[in-house]
Structure 1
Amino acid sequence: MKTSHRTFGAALAVLTTAVLTSCGSGSEPAADGSVTLSFLVDNSQGTVSTAKALTDAFMQANPKIKIETETRPGGSEGDNIVKTRLSTGDMSDVFWYNSGSLLQALNPGQTMVDLTGDPVLATVQKDFLPSVTQGGKAFGVPAGTVTGGGILYNRKIYEQLGLQVPKTWADFMANNEKIKAAKITPVITTFKDTWTSQLFVLGDYFNVQAAAPAFAADYTAGKVKFAGTPAAQAGFQHLADVHAKGYVNEGFGSATNDQGIKMLAEGKGAHYAMLSSALPPVIATMPQAGTDIGFFGIPGDDAAKNGATIWEPAAVYAAKTTKNLDAAKKFLAFVASPAAADAVTKAVQPTGPYRIEGSKLPDNAIQAAKDLQVYIDEGKSAPALEFLSPVKGPSLEQITVAVGSGLTPPAEGAAQYDKDVEKQAKQLGLAGW
């Protein structure tokens, strides 16, 4: 989801003041063997806090390597900064950026250090590697945690009404009917922040893959479409269903993501199709949300194939222009270690499991992260489509707002999205389009 994980925590912060022109590709080692690495990260609060925890712990263990960190904006402005600095050879030694489809546009084979077969990746979980791989070569290590994309739900409402976590869409809708009868909003909807409208579609990918295992490859090759694949079109249908049944909150068109999370935590709504990474801000002011809010994957049609869709963490990469490759690799190896996960956990509440072998969620982890861990441990998770295919249309959030508002029929919305992705696939020069 191009917009989603950049939207949370938009507060500006700077870790270590660094002059932009001093970063470039770093300076060569000093006479005493000391090295200074430059590190570029986005300015969201979660990234800033995570990066600070990583660099502080690394420098404490490696006193001869200093890391100077600078921030950049998020969103498309930040994308352009990263692309420009990579293409002009002015990138920092190491940098933080998305994994998945957005990485593909950076031409990593020409701009980043190839880590394939390197000991740096020794502790990286194998399931993560496809999201930082292009042309059979791996370029990054995971920074942060997996995020669940599905249904955040109020566990107290479930307990109060005697409800069970649904394993099928029919069970989910039956729960919504009971919640509505109790005069509680069944499904929180926040279309003022248009990106939030995408979750019923993007978070349904586990079910798409379960029904059509070759969908990602065939979709990338232009062989299948959302509108022609019942399992893929189901996400648009789900959006239409909850609106048609009157399960959404009043004023959903002007409600914001922050308001939606608060509504869920306060028990004014039972379900919210959302990312688990949306929780830390509300937990800061409403600590009970850490235990009261749980997570489950968007249910499909078959209870025996129930699972969850996940968003892989961002990654840290080394620029090919770095003059301090050994130090850069040392830092990347640390980022991918259990010690780094422990350091981050002390500073940032994890909203899902780490992608590092040997790392564990703390006993006091939020409930949504524990719920997500179960799906991963049981092998019942799949990455969102954007981690398996470079094709992601830019207009999905406008299309899903219209479908979820009852303005566009779901089949028509799916067909509109097929046209939207076609333009992007042709821009990428993909075969079959």
Structure 2
Amino acid sequence: MSSFITPRRATTVVAGVGLAALALAGCSGATGGGSADGKVEITYLTTNGDDSIATGNALISAFEKANPDITVTLNTRPGGTEGDNLVKTQLSTGEMDDVFFYNTGSLFQALNPDQTLANLADESWVSEVTDNFKTVASTDNGTYGAPLGTSMAGGIAYNTKVFSDLGISVPTDWSSLVAAAEKIKAAGITPIEQTYGDTWTSQLFLLADFGNVRTQDENWADDFTNNKAKFAQGPALAGFTHLQDAFDKGLFNADFATATAAEGSAALAAGKAAMYPMLSSAVLSNITQSNPDAVADIGFFAMPADKAANTTLTVWEPSAVYIPKTTEGAKLDAAKKFVAFVNSPEGCDIQNANYVAGGPFSISSCSVPSDAAPMVAEIQKYIEDGKSAPALEFLSPVKGPNLENIAISVGSGISSAQDGAAAYDDDVKKQAQQLGLAGW
């Protein structure tokens, strides 16, 4: 999950290497050749989460077996702001590992990729990545990252049994969602689950609406970054308006103020709630743990726009593996082989073995398992139909720190949609000024 939505752990773990290797790891990316016997040693830097470490070790083991002349050492870094700063420092000082795992989108752009990263545009796998992914891992001058992991979507998870029993079709615009919600409410079922006990979840009404905004104005993210577009006006206001509308119509669960994401997911799985605005991977993870038999009953659709023609799924693209420009010679060749291996048939199998797919892959060489959750196929359909767009945080570095609290205020009837949007415009102004962006 993106660091813009939830914080990541900030403790350093080293897997598969000794202390001496750790001490030398920062220097390994700056040398260009292999050893006298033709063997090449490279390093791979990933985050310190259990999934990342397990995936990294499995990829390295399989890659070394297929490439016996190449040895890969796994190093890890913290997540969150500490990890971001470490990556920037290592790149600026020429001490980055030969291959590293990092965010796509605005955090990738902040690395000054044209100056610090190896351009991989001529690699064969580039033609297989989706347009959305290429948007968030490229600049006008090149493509720099290969995806690792699946995408996830922001939208509305729904209980397909409840919809079927009540004869409800998937809503394609806001008015049809409200009509469906009223029918669900009349049947004694919570129409829309909200879980402000986990405050970050309050943002989904707003964050998942960005695909609709971009469809109406493809330059909105750039204009927003340059202080020329506001949430309190134009297409972006709709997310706040719909949040207020849903509260005003009494469509939320009675315990919306204290319920947690785990509790909301369980209510959806049990059919006590019919719809839950959420990230696909988060709701799937929760239901897989608490109600695994119900995974097959959960579908997913895009947050509806006011007009069906504008309804577009908002997608959180996976992070990527990159190669710094300091990786040269035989090491560069080996690093490129490792990056290509990540999305090879064997690399795809390793990813599937270590991650639960919360959405489709962003490269055609990889496919989710045949037993993947049904919601993944629904998400894939939006992408195949050209009805998806990257989340705003992949296209703009501007995100105010108080969005979740502002969303709770609007979604609890404390503030109006207009006031909430205006408050968020003030909130992002402070953050944009801290980033030193022009025009603020």
The 2-side partners of 1:216 and 1:393 are apart by: 14
Match for residue 22 of structure 1 among 21, 24, 28: 24
The reply on whether 1:258 has 2:262 as its aligned counterpart is yes
Farther-moved stretch of structure 1 (20-29 vs 176-185): 20-29
CA distance change for structure 1 residues 59 and 263 in 2, over 3 Å: closer, same or farther?
Answer: farther
AA matched with 2:69: K
In structure 2, the residue matched to 1:207 is 212
The reply on whether 1:432 has 2:439 as its aligned counterpart is yes
The reply on whether 1:347 has 2:354 as its aligned counterpart is yes
In structure 2, the residue matched to 1:422 is 429
CA distance change for structure 1 residues 325 and 120 in 2, over 3 Å: closer, same or farther?
Answer: farther
In structure 1, the residue matched to 2:370 is 363
Displacement of 1:272 in angstroms is 1.2
Match for residue 240 of structure 2 among 231, 236, 261: 236
Please say if residues 216 and 385 of structure 1, whose CA atoms lie closer than 8 Å, have aligned partners that are also in contact.
yes
In structure 2, the residue matched to 1:401 is 408
Displacement of 1:199 in angstroms is 1.0
Moved over 6 A (4+): 8-14
The 1-side partners of 2:392 and 2:357 are apart by: 23
In structure 1, the residue matched to 2:276 is 272
Displacement of 1:190 in angstroms is 1.6
The 2-side partners of 1:93 and 1:217 are apart by: 32
The 1-side partners of 2:80 and 2:315 are apart by: 20
Please say if residues 148 and 310 of structure 1, whose CA atoms lie closer than 8 Å, have aligned partners that are also in contact.
yes
Displacement of 1:149 in angstroms is 0.7
State how 1:119-130 maps to structure 2 within 5 Å: 119=124, 121-130=126-135
Q: Secondary structure at the match of 2:306?
A: coil
Match for residue 57 of structure 1 among 62, 82, 86: 62
Count of aligned residue pairs for this structure pair: 432
Please say if residues 9 and 79 of structure 2, whose CA atoms lie closer than 8 Å, have aligned partners that are also in contact.
no
The reply on whether 1:157 has 2:159 as its aligned counterpart is no
Match for residue 386 of structure 1 among 390, 393, 412: 393
> Taking every aligned residue pair, what percent have the same amino acid on both sides?
48
TM-score of the superposed pair, with normalisation by structure 2: 0.89
In structure 2, the residue matched to 1:89 is 94
The 2-side partners of 1:9 and 1:277 are apart by: 18
RMSD: 2.6
The reply on whether 1:288 has 2:288 as its aligned counterpart is no
Farther-moved stretch of structure 1 (310-319 vs 31-40): 31-40
The reply on whether 1:249 has 2:256 as its aligned counterpart is no
AA matched with 1:423: K
CA deviations over 1:209-228 (Å, ceiling 9, x no partner): 22223322322332221112
The 1-side partners of 2:106 and 2:92 are apart by: 18
Gaps of 5+ in 1: none
Displacement of 1:7 in angstroms is 5.8
Q: Secondary structure at the match of 2:128?
A: coil
Q: Secondary structure at the match of 1:393?
A: coil
Displacement of 1:157 in angstroms is 1.5
The 2-side partners of 1:193 and 1:29 are apart by: 50
Farther-moved stretch of structure 1 (258-267 vs 98-107): 258-267
AA matched with 2:16: T
Please say if residues 145 and 352 of structure 1, whose CA atoms lie closer than 8 Å, have aligned partners that are also in contact.
yes
The 2-side partners of 1:270 and 1:85 are apart by: 47
